[in-house]
Amino acid sequence: MLRYLLASWCLLASFVSVADDFRPASLTIQAIDQSQYEVLWKVPIKNNKAPAFAIIFDDQTIQQSPIRTRSLGSAYIQSWKISRAHGIGGLTLTIEGLKGSNYEAILRIITPDGNLLSTVLNTENDQYAVPTTLTMAKFDVFSSYTILGFEHILIGLDHLLFVLALILLVVGWKKLIWTITFFTLAHSITLAAVTLNWFTLPGPPVEAIIALSIVFLARELIYVYRGNDSITARYPWIVAFTFGLLHGMGFAGALGDIGLPQNEVLLALLSFNIGVELGQLTFVCAMLVVITAAKKWLSSLPKWSQQVPAYGIGTLASFWLIERLMLF
């Protein structure tokens, strides 16, 4: 049992560390009128301090108010107002300090007409020039939101851990393909439904139940590894579809934070979902390659060691569950 606990806590520490590293920053510039804009800069806090970034605008941009700084939960927030005599079209901004860091920043610009421009800045590209047309071309919408979806799933550790638990639980290629397909179908349904405002649920309960779904799968893994029969193992696509509906709401919450261009809502939604599926497929293939390559080595380990991944998954998911319940 001590070995289980040590392995679980090591896995927990590594995943929490990775989660901290991959939380993106966000920069929102929202129009007040044709020449004035509200700037909101949100950076995740790590080790009780925020990274040293600075937003640098071009020389045609005038700061109209002092920068207000506050902390909210695990984020460091700054807000201020800027103005540009000829509007925001053509503005060039740079996030100083982003290069050489392991951070990404989601940039959202909401124009006076309500259009949304959205992109991701990172260590390779820390600068953005606002187009003079203030609208995103169809290809730009498709490429930007596909990348956003792909990146979101790969930094969404709770979703990846759920998929990993499914991979470990399901025996047989055919059954695994059906299980992942049902999970994909389910989260695509609720992603679209919530994004299009057909219905909505509060974010904190949804996030807590997502963590609970991983705890449930971890428990099922341990149950099966101990030689017991499980309905979940026999019919994993039912569980995948049921919990997939909740995971889709989580994706919708992330997409809501990013925002959608008013003139291309459906294209952006479809592109984001394609990106999510591509990221999920990449993760599944990578895990299958690792598991297949390590199968010979794993077969030489004692039987009790099969339960270690389940304990690690369950420990981390329990940590998330408690953390999210505290947000109620």
Count of the separate structural domains present in the chain: 2
Top-confidence residue, 258 or 252:
252
Same domain membership, residue 232 and residue 167: yes
How far is residue 173's CA from residue 169's CA, in Å, rounded to a whole number? 12
47 domain residue, yes or no: yes
Same domain membership, residue 221 and residue 315: yes
Same domain membership, residue 157 and residue 278: yes
Same domain membership, residue 86 and residue 168: no
Query: If pLDDT is split at 50, 70 and 90, which confidence band does 47 have?
Result: low
pLDDT of 254 strictly over 80: yes
Query: If pLDDT is split at 50, 70 and 90, which confidence band does 256 have?
Result: confident
Query: If pLDDT is split at 50, 70 and 90, which confidence band does 71 have?
Result: confident
Residue 292 belongs to what domain range? 153-325
* End-to-end Cα distance, the chain: 33
How far is residue 127's CA from residue 135's CA, in Å, rounded to a whole number? 18
Give the whole-number percent of the chain exceeding pLDDT 90: 49
147 domain residue, yes or no: no
Are 90 and 41 within 8 A, CB to CB? no
What CATH number does the domain containing 308 carry?
A: 1.20.1250
272 domain residue, yes or no: yes
The pLDDT tens digits for 259-275 are 888 778 899 999 999 99
Phi, psi of 64 (to 5 degrees): -100, -15
117 domain residue, yes or no: yes
Among 192-196, 216-220, 225-229, name the one with the lowest average pLDDT.
225-229
Q: Which two tokens stand for residue 56?
A: 């640098």
1 domain residue, yes or no: no
Phi, psi of 303 (to 5 degrees): -60, -35
Same domain membership, residue 254 and residue 127: no
Closest by CA to 34, choosing from 90, 93, 83, 99, is 83
142 domain residue, yes or no: no
Same domain membership, residue 240 and residue 312: yes
Same domain membership, residue 285 and residue 204: yes
6 domain residue, yes or no: no
The pLDDT tens digits for 150-159 are 988 988 889 9
How many whole angstroms from its chain centre is CA 261? Answer: 19
Same domain membership, residue 196 and residue 124: no
Quick one: pLDDT at residue 298? 66
Same domain membership, residue 161 and residue 121: no
Same domain membership, residue 159 and residue 124: no
pLDDT of 1 strictly over 90: no
What CATH number does the domain containing 53 carry?
A: 2.60.40
Strands (E), 84-170: 92-96, 105-110, 116-121, 127-129
Cβ contacts of 252 within 8 Å, gap of 6 or more: 190, 191, 193, 194, 195
Same domain membership, residue 212 and residue 130: no
Which residue is listed with tokens 């260590």? 123
How far is residue 129's CA from residue 143's CA, in Å, rounded to a whole number? 17
Quick one: pLDDT at residue 144? 85
Same domain membership, residue 157 and residue 129: no
pLDDT of 14 strictly over 50: no
